[in-house]
Amino acid sequence: MASPWDEDILDKDFKILTPLGVGTFREVKLACHLPTKAQVAVKILSKKSNSLGEMNSEVKILQTLEHRNIILFFHVVDTLSRTYIITEYVAGRDLQIFLSEVGCLKEQEARPIFQQVISAVHFLHLRRIAHCDIKLENILIDGDGNVKLCDFGMAIQLAEGQKVEELCGSLLYMAPEMLARKPYDGLVVDMWSLGVVLYVMVTGQYLYAEDTLDGMHRLITSTKYPISYHLSIPCYIIIAQLLMVPTIGRITICQLVKRPWLGPIKTHTTPTTKDILPRLVETMCTMGYNLEDIFSSLRCKQPIKVTATFNILKHKLSCEDSYPQSEQHCLKSSHVGAHHPLVRLKRRISDPSFPRTRKSRKNQTKEGV
């Protein structure tokens, strides 16, 4: 993590535009990176409400990830009272809002979205990174149907065979072994969450809903979720394999990517900067950056302003090459990505509202996370 800076450091390089979302202990705002005029998302974490270890872990994990279906990390600014995580901005909406607007999806509509989510999770799990908070709200979709998995505040880098004892994530997506307060495999609970996501996408309702951990666990272990008559057998089989209560029978991500219903999953290729590096360096030099400073910052890989500009400009130039018509000046007023009132999806019982922070098992009560 970067050393503490003055609170006004953000104003020197970023112009805050509009709120994008507010959580229990964090908020996200749309901003403009002034040196490059690129739109970015700024996640603001209060040090009074968030664990320093968790914030450091989120940044450390994000810095290692570069995948077309995972939100791209640009920079982190650490101050005395807050941490600002600057990432790629997706001009669109999350999957929860999308489904609230269009209703449940046909399988052929859900498939390309789910394929991209699976591609992201496959990339994570091969590196033994558990997201631990996969849900509709953390799946972003832009106007062209491109999907990005976001919010790695609960993510864990797991050692081989490591079990997790903390409750984390959102109640509607929690696996039964987590609800039972048993040590669990973070990769395996991610698969349960994927099952919930797919089920909601194709049915328009949640599997189970209760307002306590114990109540949710009782429902999952004592009742069967309803199966919509319109689902194809291959789609139903995937849902059933993801939502296996015994963890021994739950499908893994490597098994899931081979299921015919999903179709071909695009193989991840490591992005390269060599094609645009000359343009990157030339552009930064015209912006007033020193050539030696540019390469020095890249070698040390520290979260400093030069590195931030390099990362953001690299993404901006890549997007211009891919989507030359889509680039917009970030200071123009825009309603894209602004807050939308949420129409609730159907739930079988009530709609519980729980904080999404990670807590130790010993501090839990049956009243919730």
Q: Could you list the active site residues?
A: 133
Give the number of other Cβ atoms within 10 Å of residue 268's Cβ: 16
Nearest to 226 by CA among 250, 246, 200: 200
* Cβ neighbours of residue 231 closer than 8 Å, sequence gap 6 or more: 107, 202, 203, 239
Tokens of 2: 């970067």
Amino acid at 234: P
Rg (CA), the chain: 21
Q: What is the DSSP letter of 8?
A: T
Tokens of 133: 């908070």
Amino acid at 337: G
Give the number of other Cβ atoms within 10 Å of residue 294's Cβ: 18
- What is the enclosing helix (H) or strand (E) of 94? strand 92-94
Q: What is the largest CA-CA distance in the chain?
A: 66
Tokens of 280: 């990157």
334 burial level (CB within 10 Å; 0-12, 13-18, 19+): middle
Amino acid at 156: I
∠ CA 113-119-124, nearest 5°, is 130
Beta bridge partners of 368: 365
Residue with tokens 């912006």: 287
CB 32 within 8 A of CB 15: yes
For CA atoms 190, 191, 196, 201, the dihedral sign is: positive
